[in-house]
Structure 1
């Protein structure tokens, strides 16, 4: 009995001298072991980090790139990824536009000069263009690659306000001269307040035309009008999933591969980090489980950006910064830093040595990529 208590006392003393690692210490060690990088100067990306990202297209049915928006460098990089994905059976590209705009983009991709077409469409609509996320030379070059490798373009989002006039013009000007004479006043009233057109007028134009795709486009404006007016994130997330499943359910092969390029928050496994809703990413993740295939999602972030006044902002130094500092610290000036998040899903004590956002991102995304781009 005395021997038992002696051994117990030794063990207790020893246990008290063992220092338990903090979450941040454990995190930093695993990050160090699972971080790689690649270089990209506008030509083919080179490096282990790129090889890891490229491999996801052979390992998964669904691969999602969660972007920070309006990045020329990400669009350039996406042209290479569309090519790489096509070699692994990917023929469907899911984008953050309406179904109607996706059809227009597909048509533009088949034209003689998609770059000129996109720039011409965007020149009078400010920094967002007529079709947000498809407004620059780099964006148009993605369409060239998509056409070269015969991609279907799936538009799963609402109709953006900047495209309202484009849709209304199409719906009106593709009609007969007699129709246009009768509906001129309706058209003029819609264009006069294009950013929030009256439902009654949209319904009137919709009732008069016969083309199903134009009727659907006008209906999408009505839906978007409500989303904008009510700031209704649930309605938008529901619409995204509905549109995605309409494309997916029309494919004969349920194991067809799909590449997603959307805003990062829409592509989380579990709840959207911003809206706290179960968004498109979670629906696709669960679909992959149903299919017994795989889904990989990538969260892109950038540390530096330049304001309209020309001021350089470092998100790491901003107390209200957008991204977790644990990842921003990985920034390298001339490298795209890739972190495989999957080994990071170990047991943590939640001892507050990591930010809450870091814990969440570890659960919701498979890879983090820290971009060297300075956004303007």
Structure 2
């Protein structure tokens, strides 16, 4: 009888303990993890300072590939990138991969070597498509700081994307104006027809121009325009992703073995696994797998802003019903500091106590960097 009573009391105690023991949810785990894996730095356009920047700098020392998945058209981020190039160069990086086409990369390289890259970019912006310019993502004096840094530090610029539609008139003019006057007179009607529908130049006309010229690089440029305009016309995200990978490996295979590369592209393109917008295996995943093959390292950083200003109106992404970034990270915003969160050791049970977009970001990125800025929005490519 005493033994039975003892067993019943022991069982009751165990049940009571089990009921009183708190279940740790993913939300609890996330909030606790953040407190010990968050760091900060300040940056006012001069040199960044703080533990957070030291952690970002260290990524270049430990990895073959470092990828900044950016938000576009931020002058402040362009200034920060100029210092990132300096950090990368100190650790043996010589290649800078950006979200432009191969021929735009050549033009940006040329501009970086001119007396005043800022004046050139400003002029190209004013003469280009309204609010976007000639070369998206490269239009301001702050963008010129990146080019100046790349030139000073002897970086090669890799452009792996399509040639953007806004640059078509610029490149068509470049091809035509470099020809002899006799050629220009003979083919003026052809050139005018191409420029008349610059956003979608006719394939037969592009081929006619390519057949008429002799320079190999310009033949290839016209072919690139044709490929790019079809991607625009069909909205073919898979074709764009395939083009990025093909262009990247063309650069990579021609370079030194295990070349170190710093990426600065839209965050959508640099995710591990399937990306967040188009559900494709994009360039980020391809480079991640290349690093595994090389037994080197790949680290990607998701950069985000909480506040944007458009037409004078301030928008808080955290309060938006169609928020662009996970609210779990927006709430970490600091008005004075950049906030860096290291996600690499965070493990989830997937109990749905966190929103789906938070789980996705944890799966696909190693770090999140929250900017303190209020970003002015124009018309951004992605």
Deviates more, 1:123-132 or 1:327-336: 123-132
Matched, 1:166 2:167: no
Q: Does 1:347 align with 2:348?
A: yes
CA separation of 1:10 and 1:372: change in aligned 2, threshold 3 A: same
- C-alpha contact (below 8 Å) 1:269/1:285 kept by paired residues: yes
Counterparts in 2 of 1:1-376, with a 5 A limit?
A: 7=10, 10-125=13-128, 126-253=130-257, 255-308=258-311, 310-344=312-346, 346-348=347-349, 350-376=350-376
Instruction: Give the match's secondary structure for 2:24.
Output: coil
Shift of 1:7: 4.7
Please say if residues 93 and 260 of structure 2, whose CA atoms lie closer than 8 Å, have aligned partners that are also in contact: yes
2:313 and 2:209 map into 1 onto residues whose CA distance is 47
1:25 is displaced (CA, Å) by 1.1
TM-score (norm 2): 0.95
Question: Which secondary structure state, in structure 2, belongs to the residue aligned with residue 43 of structure 1?
Answer: coil
For this pair of structures, how many residues does the alignment match?
Answer: 372
RMSD: 1.3
2: CA distance between counterparts of 1:117 and 1:332?
35
> Runs of 5+ in structure 1 lacking a partner?
none
Q: Deviations over 1:260-292 (max 9, x none)?
A: 000001000011100010000000000000000
Contact residue 164 and residue 194 of structure 1 kept, 8 A = yes
Structure 1 stretch displaced more, 36-45 or 224-233: 224-233
> Following TM superposition, by how much is the alpha carbon of 1:17 offset from its aligned partner in structure 2, in angstroms?
2.4
For the 8 Å contact 2:26–2:348, the answer to whether it is kept is: no
Q: TM-score, normalised by structure 1?
A: 0.96
Cα drift, residue 158 of structure 1: 0.2
**Structure 2, gaps ≥5 residues long:** 377-382
Cα pair distance change 1:318/1:178, threshold 3 Å: same
Distance 1:366 1:132 in 2: 27
Cα 1:5–1:286 shift into 2, 3 Å: farther
